[in-house]
Amino acid sequence: MTDTLAMIDEWGPEKIVVVSHRRSGMKGVLVIDNTARGTGKGGTRMSPHVTVAEVARLARVMTWKWAGIDMFHGGAKAGIVADPASPDKEGVLRAFVRALSNEVPREYVLGLDMGLTENDAAIVQDELGDRGAAVGTPHELGGVPYDVLGVTGYGVAEAADAAAEAGGLSLTAARVAIQGFGAVGRAAARRLAELGATVVAVSSAHGAIHDPAGLDVERLLKLREIHGDALVNEYGSVPVSAPGTELLVPCDVLVPAALQDVIDTDIATRLRARIVVEGANLPTSPDAQRILAERGVILVPDFIANAGGVIAAGFAMDARYSPFRPDPAQIFSLISAKLRGNTEAVLSEARRRDIRPHEAALLIAQERVRAAMRLKGRVPLGQ
């Protein structure tokens, strides 16, 4: 309990709910970080290794992400300690949302994160008998299927293009390395190829492949559909190296789009990219960010670069009780405009203040959250 209380600072969390269900074996946690700007909204992940601290950390990222794109929802995140490949997945998920029926959807609306799919969002809605309980449901249920549309990866590519322009680099002449070829990585690869970039390296849990002349993105996408993470073994013509080597290949743009904490001080010192665009949440440590800044590497922060899914979720939140489906073309148009504009604004503010992009993005987001907290009487008197 002492450690959990130690997580609380001036921003939150406002509520931490730990739940369990003996019969199904379900264990889970919901962290509602800050709702000054609106209802808590963030993804729910399922993994055998979920911890309260991890979920709280990600909930805070959601607070900044919503504020960073200036949409009126609050930061929250949830996690279920379970194997998403288990045959008991549905039962565990149903037990989890039943246990949170006091909070969902009044205080928290579920979204999709690692280990959950559009079909799982449909299960959540069914269990609670409320279309408003979750977003990211399949198209057939009137939802915005994030992974199918590839909205997060699309936004990462748009942010990369804006960062390249700010750095005097044409994306059509850029070499790109992508860590992770899941929903975010593959959608980013597709859009980057459309924008004219050459994808020279990708990786999965099975390893990394690198070709300085460029990889065939369409071929990679097809192999991913058939073989999943084993696509790197099936590509042929280039050797498979250990996971992580893709971070160090010669390239202009590096997109870490897999797990958190992958770029430490050692990697930051040795990577050869001119631009790093954070497709995953929390992929770089603060010390690594400092080293990248000292080396002149442009860094686009996670809650700016990977906010495409959040923008789509915002559409879905507004459409939860509507009989009409959101228009994907409208969603992609807003993602492009928001992420390009936000990337340019953050990099410009970082230059103006002579601070790191993460610091600039955080200042912008914190200013918006603090203003909402002050207006709602959520700060101590005199502040």
Active site residues: 77
Residue position matching structure tokens 């998403």: 84
The CA distance from 68 to 126, in Å, is 32
Q: Report how far residue 336's alpha carbon sits from residue 132's, in angstroms, rounded to the nearest whole number.
A: 26
d(CA 31, CA 14): 8
Helix axes 52-68, 308-318, angle to 10 degrees: 80
Tokens 């859009």 found at: 191
**Which of 350, 278, 314 lies closest to 136 in space, CA to CA?**
314
54 contacts 78 by C-beta, under 8 angstroms: no
Give residue 282's region: left, alpha or beta (phi > 0; psi -120 to 50).
Answer: left
| Cβ(114)–Cβ(50) below 8 Å | no
End-to-end CA distance of the chain: 29
The four Cα atoms 135, 138, 144, 149 give a dihedral, to 10 degrees, of: 130
The secondary structure of residue 330, as a DSSP letter, is H
The string of DSSP codes covering 298-312 is EEE-HHHHTTHHHHH
